[in-house]
Structure formats: C-alpha cells, structure tokens
Homo-oligomer: A and B are copies of this chain.
Amino acid sequence: METDVVIVGFGGAGGCAAIEAADAGSEVILFELASASGGSTAMSSAEIYMGGGGGTRVQRACGFEDSTEDMFTYMMMAAGPQADEEKIRGYCDNSLGHFEWLCELGVSFKDSFHETRAIMCLTDDGLLYTGSEKAWPFKEHAKPAARGHNLYIEGDNGGPLFMKIVTENVDKRDAIRVEYEVRALTLITGEDNEVLGLVVRKDQQELNVRARKGVILCAGGFVMNEEMLQKYAPKLSVGTQAIGNPGDTGTGIQMGMSVGGAAINMHEGFISLPYYPPASITSGILVNDKGQRLINEDVYHARLGNAILNDPSERFYFIVTVDQYGDYEQMNFMGADVVGTGETVAELEEELQLPEGTLQHTIAFYNQAAAKGEDPLYHKAEQWLEQLEAPLVALDVTPGRGAFWPFFTLGGLDTLPSGEVLTADRTVIPGLYAAGRTACGVVRRAEGYSSGMSVGDATYSGRMAGKAVAARNSVSQ
C-alpha cells in the first residue's frame, strides 16, 4: 500500500487529522485497530474547552465576553511548571477558529448556559463551567469565563455523537481510506531516521505501507497498559477506573520512542475524586486525619483529588451537614461511604478517631470565618461558605476505601505545535507526527485539569498535524 499520509488511530485526533490532511489535498489511509471509529473520544462526554477572542458564539450568547489573554493565563496556570507556552498560545489564539471549524463539520452547540455545578452536563445546554476558573487562585489572575462546550444532546451522549459526526465527515471524503481491524506494528525509517511508512498487520498478514508525506500517531495514551503505568505513572495506581478504550496501550508512544522520540510528562495523569454532584457537597469541608482542611473545596474535582494524593495523611473525609448531604445517595458519582455521623462535632471527631480537639478547632475556626463570608485559609468563594451546624455526616474519601477515582494518562511524545515528534534534544524526526494523548499536549496535570481540555487538545492537535503533514515535502521525494 502507498499513500501520502498514514494515520494510526481513528478517535478524535485521528479523525480530525484525516479531514484536514484530505482537505489540504493529500491522500490518506487511516488505520484503526477496532472494528469501528471512536477511540476514547467516543467514550467521553466530549466537552470541548474553547473560548477567548471575545467569546465563541455560545459564550457571547450566555453573557461571557471571554478574552484570549484570560484563557491563556488560566491554561498556563493549569499546566503549571510543565506548561508548553508555545502550544498553549497556539491553542488559545486559534480557539475561536476551532469552534467555527467544528460547527462547519456539523457539530451543534445550543446557546444556553448550564448554571449548576456538574462534572458533566446531562442537559443539552451548550456551555458550563468545567474547571477551576471561578476558584482561588485562578480567579485572582484571570477573569473567569465558562469554556466547557457541550454538544446539543441530552444525557451523557456527547462523545458518541461527536465521533458520529467526525466519522461521517471522514466517510464523505474520497481521499480518505479507512482500514478497520488493522494493527500498526512498526515504523519504517530511511536515511537520517526519516519515517517512510509503517508495517501493519491486516488479515493475519504483515504489509508495508509507504507514506509519501508522513505518519501521524493518534493511538491514544497508555492507561490500559499495566506495565507502563507501573513504570511511568505509579501515582495513578490508586485510581479505581481507567478511562479509555481497550486500545490505549501506549503502542503509539512506544512506536515513537523506538525511532528516538522523547516521551515527556509520563508521570502525570488526570486522576480525580468526582465529589459533585450534588453541588452542595462543595459547601462542606475536606479534612485529613489531623482534622485539617487541605484546599478550597470549590475547585475542579481533579484539583481536589490531587490535593488528597499529595497529602501524606492516611485518611480523608468530607464533612457535610445533613442539608448539604441532601440527595447525595440519589445522585453521587464518587461512591464514598458514610463512616460517621455526629450530633456534635466532638462526637464525630471521636467516631473518626481524630486527635481530640482537631476537628472541633477546624470547624469552630471555619464557622467563625464563614459567618463573615470569608475563608482566610483557603479562599473558598463566599457562595460556598456556610456554617457547619451539627448533626454532621462524614464521607470517607480516602483512596482505596471505596470511592471512585477515575484516571487516564497525560504523558506522551514531545511534539512541536505542528505535531512533529521531537527527540530528547528537540530535533525533529522527519515524517513523524503525533496528536491526541499519544502526544503530550496543552493539558499536563490533574492539578489544573478542566473538562474539555483533553478532547479539545486531541481534536485541535489532530488538525494541526493533519495540516502540517499535508504541507510537507518529504526528504526522500
């Protein structure tokens, strides 16, 4: 087989890469291990993190005049010391364009705002807050705006709908040939380590596929590879639920490494304690086994989860009032058990075997401050500050004790914003590109994750790689 562009993996990244490469005049073969398109994007809620430039159509309709600088500042803080400034700059500068491009594909977003704090939007509203934008310290540095765009469909059905639209767009382009149930095995390289193609296995046969312009690896992350997780990202081992499709075994990353590509940020992942809904839990407090709080409880759920993982304590509890507990049993995702109830704080403290006086002090201090509408320790927003009046309920959110901790990987091949794969000394490997979770993109850690960043990054980085490879004149041509 021979073509211009070979793409490995038909999820969000691979699909968008194929469309862009074909629209730029290239002939494409898209290999997918499974018998259908979708990848992990189809399994997600497919929220897409977009904004800046005065706001997307949806943002403006909902009253958000978002600026590119605020979005950039927020995303840089979110990625922290690992931030790739050039990538984040490109992502933000081109975010309105990405919104338009998706709309042109046929992706619809309703011009309505979802007010309730949620980990995903179960209505068909088009926009919601999906991160820590309104929480300290982010709000001190970047004007908050909702940037999570949710597809125009009820329920948690955004992912399948999104990939249906992408697949229809792929199918209607004659320049793209899709080969399902094909396993990518090895890259073929020539002089100067240029990537010339790929060995694949199809119908029990190994075939060499020549890629005249290049190969794009869009084969997902490595959350389904136990050995790689243990070796690279052992902190994710406390997670209870790997989020991804069965093909997320790191083979794309490994193929890149085998020709000298550098994998970076491999220790990081999204890992989270999805403690809302009900949103009222946010008004409770998270404490460790010293009865101390750890963080402002109004942050994104993965940021709070990360604070737990970074604290060496052996037990963690959410302490809520009966009112705040509310309809927890009916609607919670986190599955944490009630392990204590107290008619008084002292009673709960004893029941949780916290050192005497610790929880009593924490709650007395918190209540005194909350009465003034302040949180001098952690700066939780006033909206979530309520005095905690007994009776109180304690939920055990200690990792490993029943609560749900979903996770996936955020490390991958080091790439330029164009998707070109880099070696450890940042030399480009000619003809090799990566996108989506096979690459290390704009989103780098749980501490700053916001829903929609991974699908946003996958689709955007796929497009950039598709364009770049289509524009390439290979050395060996």
Using a CB–CB cutoff of 8 Å, the interface residues on chain A facing chain B are: 80-82, 227-228, 231-232, 234-235, 237, 250, 253-254, 257-260, 262-268, 290, 292, 295, 307, 310-312, 355, 357-358, 361, 365, 376-378, 414, 423-426
Contact = CB atoms under 8 A, between A and B. Distances in A.
Counted per complex, copies of this chain come to: 2
Nearest to A361: B361
B424 A257 contact: yes
Contacts of A80: 234
Given A312-B295, A361-B361, A376-B355, A257 B423 contact: yes
Nearest to A288: B377
A46 to B, nearest CB: 29
Contacts of A414: 231
Nearest to A295: B312
Contacts of A355: 376-377
B424 A250 contact: yes
Nearest to A444: B234
B425 A254 contact: yes
Contact of A258 (B235, B260, B361): B260
Contact of A365 (B235, B357, B423): B357
B424 A253 contact: yes
A414 B292 CA distance: 39
Contacts of A268: 267
A378 B355 CA distance: 11
Contacts of A227: 426
Contacts of A378: 290
Nearest to A228: B424
A269 B342 CA distance: 44
Given A81-B235, A361-B365, 9 more contacts: A82-B234, A227-B426, A231-B414, A250-B424, A259-B260, A264-B266, A266-B267, A307-B312, A357-B365
A206 B232 CA distance: 36
Contacts of A237: 81
- Pick the 8 closest A-B CB pairs, nearest first: A81-B234, A355-B376, A310-B310, A254-B424, A267-B267, A290-B377, A258-B260, A257-B424
